[in-house]
């Protein structure tokens, strides 16, 4: 059965609650991000995806996470400053989450996606269709510009 995130409530960077279903109609890429990871350079590619597809109804949603190697120790303002200054990233960043162990949303729902199980590392990606259904899950080593990912984004936008 397909996992749907429409009823999932997350905390924004300002501490407000946001229901992911409020974003239905858009294609989303949910990513657990970290500023001190070998994959941190993927911020640049994620920003490029945002710029390439944003006008078509696509958004990257970044969820800072300190679960893996303590690679995201900073406060949310520090993380936002780093992303903006270092990578020009302006896609939404949310409050810090736990993607493993005692998971917090959206990960307690997302990790039910096949193959089910905890997020393995920073920059794991979940592609969400316009109706809130999780379409695909990509491991950290799938680069933002990988054909399998951009092709899936384009297909979801066309659906």
Per-residue tens of pLDDT for the chain, all 159 residues:
689 999 999 999 999 999 999 999 999 999 999 999 999 999 999 999 999 999 999 999 999 999 999 999 999 999 999 999 999 999 999 999 999 988 899 999 999 988 888 999 999 999 999 999 999 999 999 999 999 999 999 999 999
Distances (CA, A) of 133 to 8, 24, 29, 96, 107: 11, 9, 12, 23, 14
CA neighbor of 61 nearest in space, from 27, 111, 25, 15: 27
Do the domain assignments include residue 138? yes
CA pair distance 115, 101, nearest whole angstrom: 17
Do the domain assignments include residue 2? no
* pLDDT in the model for residue 1: 67
Whether 37 is catalytic: yes
CATH assignment at residue 94: 3.40.30.10
Single out the catalytic residue among 5, 20, 28, 37. 37
pTM above 0.85, yes or no: yes
* pLDDT in the model for residue 26: 98
Do the domain assignments include residue 4? no
Q: Count how many domains the chain has.
A: 1
Do the domain assignments include residue 68? yes
Tokens standing for residue 129:
């269709």
Range of the domain at 70: 9-158
């Amino acid at each position: 059965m397909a996992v749907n995130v429409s009823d999932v409530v997350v905390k924004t960077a300002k501490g407000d609650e946001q229901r992911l279903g409020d974003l239905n109609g858009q294609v989303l890429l949910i990513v657990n991000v970290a500023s001190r990871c070998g994959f941190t350079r993927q911020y640049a590619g994620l920003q490029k995806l945002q710029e390439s597809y944003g006008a078509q109804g696509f958004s990257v949603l970044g969820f800072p996470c300190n679960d893996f190697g303590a690679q995201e120790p900073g406060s949310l303002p520090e993380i936002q400053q780093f992303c903006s200054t270092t990578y020009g990233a302006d896609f939404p960043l949310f409050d810090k989450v736990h993607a493993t162990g005692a998971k917090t949303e959206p990960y307690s729902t997302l990790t039910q996606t096949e193959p089910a199980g905890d997020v393995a590392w920073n920059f794991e990606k979940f592609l969400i269709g316009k109706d809130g259904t999780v379409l695909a899950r990509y491991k950290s080593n799938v680069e933002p510009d990988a054909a399998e990912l951009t092709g899936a984004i384009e297909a979801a936008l066309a659906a």
